[in-house]
Structure 1
Amino acid sequence: MARKTNCEKNGKNYYRLTVTLGRTAEGKLIRKDFYAESKKEAEKLRDEYMNMINSGAPMDYKNVTLGELMHLWLYEIMYVSDRIKPSTFERYEGVYRNYIKNSELYFVNLSELKSIQIQRYYNRIYCSGKTSSSIRTLNKILKAFLNYALDEGYINRNPCSSKKLVIPGRSELKKESVEVFSENEIKLVKETLKEDRLECLILLALGTGLRQGELLALSWDDIDLKRMELHVNKTLKRQPVFDEDMKKSHTFVLIPPKSKSSNRTVPIPSSLIPVIKRHRTMQLEEKLKAGSSYTNKNLVFCTQTGNFINQRNIIRAHERLLNRAGVSYRKFHTYRHTYATKLFEAKIPLKTIQTLLGHSDITMTANIYTHVMPKERITAVEKLNRLFV
């Protein structure tokens, strides 16, 4: 009698059995499929898998490959964990997809995995052009996964913990120089910004040193024009989202700043107040024009329909702006570096600059801006006004 099947995969007929394992952090169901030549065999695979998950004792561990278990660990454990941020999971997923999924390591049985196999793989990808830094990141994530495999009994030692395992190449310890805009470049940018939709965003970045995500998360409730200050209490993050089939998309969310010290109050140079008021007027006109299609999130910086601005669009618009101004391309973060550098040049105390930048450690501020550390210190945030006159 012919065996009953219910699906076709790679040209063959199988019986597919689907189980629900739980829900993601967003409440979506997590499902896993089991394929076999008959319903009975599919049920057997399902039961063995669930026993492995529920008891912690691996079933038939000798046939479990590194790639298979890493996929399980990544999507069914790390993804639903509240111990890592979505951005961290996205980095893990990228490493798995780019370095493990289609590599020779994927098909290695965990019970047979040795340090030399990992070493040869690292050597090969280094010779193909991967940097030591990328391989070090891969090793860090692979080591974390193999610690899980060790705890679950799939291996009796972690081959990534071996002192004999070497990251090929030299350590890239070269410190990147801090780029800033010169006085003349600031003047060119300001002239080009007149009546540009980015004017308020960029001048506020230059006058407050806020990170791009902090600027895009600002609400009008965060700005006090009378006291000439703004409050940083959140940041905009482009966050990965995976559907039931683990297909990735992105959404925008407001999250707390990167550290407690990033929650801060920053003075606004008085010459920027008219710029902010003009921006508010423009935004109200856009809201009126959009009518019912406007989404009111009370954001200081938003699209013409009130929604979050995609940071990638800011990057592209910023590059076009610099081209028009005849200024060499620099990252948006350069405005923050320029702000900090101008504070040092104005002899603002290091501790004050640390607080204004939202750095968690004063050593971090000193290390980044060693090249402009002043010998004398005075307090005068309003000296930044000369940038906007």
Structure 2
Amino acid sequence: MKEGRKAQYKKETQQTSLSRRTVELTRTIIKAALTQAVKEQLIARNPADATELPPADEEKEVIPFTQEEALKFLNSIKGKRLFAAYYLCLATGLRRGELLGLKWEDIDFRSGNFEIKRNLVEVKNETGKYVLEFQKPKTRKSQRTIPMTEDIIKVLKAHKVKQNEEKLFFGKGYQDNGLVFCSEDGRPLWPRNFHRQYSNLLKAAGIPHKKPHAMRHTFVSLLLEQGEDLKNIQELVGHASIVVTANVYGKIAEKTKKKAVEKMSQILKIEAVNR
């Protein structure tokens, strides 16, 4: 393993959406294999000894879409089966589990609102096997009502028409769980599969890889840039405390701070030179 290959591997793991646990496990396996190679005198030393895991705080950093990237992404996936899912994430800041746990009964087209009542998550059962499970939101703030724009309503209604066509196609084989976003035969979508599809769509659109959570960050960052009230944003995304909203998205507010200073300069505008 040459230095160039190690650097390439590090770059690849940072650009993909691998979790810290997956990267750590991969490193452990590679290190063990190379240790054995040293024992068998196939190589002189173990190059994995010099590798380090990325800092935990570095891993948590999520880079949002720019406005241009968000529009490019949506335009590139028009007509795709789950277009409505990605649109809703960007337009409302839903968490992935909230999106995949959303049911049609949660949506009221008359009032123009929908409610977040559950998450779809992967959990280990008693045998150690991963299974899907619906869970209640962890905090009271996460259980929230979100208003819909006319565009959101149109997108969701169009999605429902396509889903009804799938129901007719599968007939008795359709497993109707009432989910808004599900597999073609009605089964819940595995979060990891949703993640994989998202990554492939990003790549096809020519957009640098971003974690699915970046769609939620994008919702917040673009609203901040437009000067939206932080308390309003907190209520919409369901943060337990406004401190969380401010801490997680504080870096994104640099543009808005500059705009605020520029506004004050306009208010106090005087001749630059005192004559």
What TM-score, normalized by structure 1, do the two folds share?
A: 0.51
Residues in 2 aligned to 1:175 and 1:212: alpha-carbon distance in whole angstroms = 18
Aligned to 1:302: 182
5+ unaligned residues in a row in structure 1: which ranges? 1-90, 99-125, 134-171, 378-389
Give 1:196 deviation, angstroms.
0.2
1-structure distance, mates of 2:111, 2:63:
31
1:202 has 2:86 as partner: yes
1:191 shift after superposition: 1.6
1:234 to 104, 113, 118: 118
Deviation at 1:272, TM superposition (A): 1.7
Per the alignment, residue 72 of structure 2 pairs with 188
Alignment: residue pair count: 216
Runs of 4+ aligned residues of structure 1 deviating over 6 Å after TM superposition are none
Helix, strand or coil for the counterpart of 1:230? strand
Letter in 1 for 2:187: N
Give 1:238 deviation, angstroms.
0.8
C-alpha RMSD over aligned residues: 2.7
Tell me: CA distance 1:132–1:220, structure 2 relative to 1, closer, same or farther (3 Å). closer
Separation in 1, partners of 2:217, 2:225:
12
Residue of structure 1 in register with 2:165 after alignment: 285
Instruction: Quote the offset at 1:372 in angstroms.
Output: 3.5
Q: Give the CA deviation at 1:176.
A: 4.9
Question: Which shifted more, 281-290 or 255-264?
Answer: 255-264
CA contact 1:204–1:272 (8 Å) conserved in 2: yes
Quick check: 1:344 aligned with 2:237?
A: no
Q: Determine if contact 1:178/1:369 at 8 Å carries over to the other structure.
A: no
Q: 2:257 aligned with 1:363, yes or no? A: no
Q: How does 1:9-20 map to 2 (within 5 A)?
A: none
The answer to whether the 8 Å contact 2:97/2:121 transfers is yes
Q: Is the 8 A contact 1:207 1:268 kept in 2?
A: no
What do residues 72-93 of structure 1 show as CA deviations (whole Å, max 9, x unaligned)? xxxxxxxxxxxxxxxxxxx9xx
Letter in 2 for 1:331: K
Q: Is the 8 A contact 1:218 1:232 kept in 2?
A: yes
Question: How far does residue 295 in structure 1 lie from its aligned partner after superposition?
Answer: 0.9
2:209 pairs with 1:329: yes
Secondary structure, counterpart of 2:125 in structure 1: strand
TM-superposed CA distance for 1:174, in Å, is 5.2
Q: Normalising by structure 2, report the TM-score.
A: 0.71
Secondary structure of the corresponding residue to residue 347 of structure 1:
coil
Deviations 1:259-284 (A, max 9, x none): 22111111223212111111000001
Flag the 1:321–1:175 CA change in 2: closer, same or farther, 3 A. Answer: closer
Does the aligned pair in 2 maintain the 1:209–1:339 contact within 8 Å? yes
Q: 1:213–1:235: 8 Å Cα contact kept in structure 2?
A: yes
SS at match of 1:251: strand
How many angstroms does 1:335 deviate by?
Answer: 0.6
Q: Which has the higher helix share?
A: 2
Q: Which has the higher strand share?
A: 1
Identity of matched residues, %: 34
CA distance in 2: counterparts of 1:177 and 1:255, whole angstroms: 26
Give the C-alpha shift of residue 183 in structure 1: 2.1
Instruction: Tell me the equivalent position of 2:263.
Output: none
Match of 2:15 in 1: none
Q: Is the 8 A contact 2:62 2:210 kept in 1?
A: no
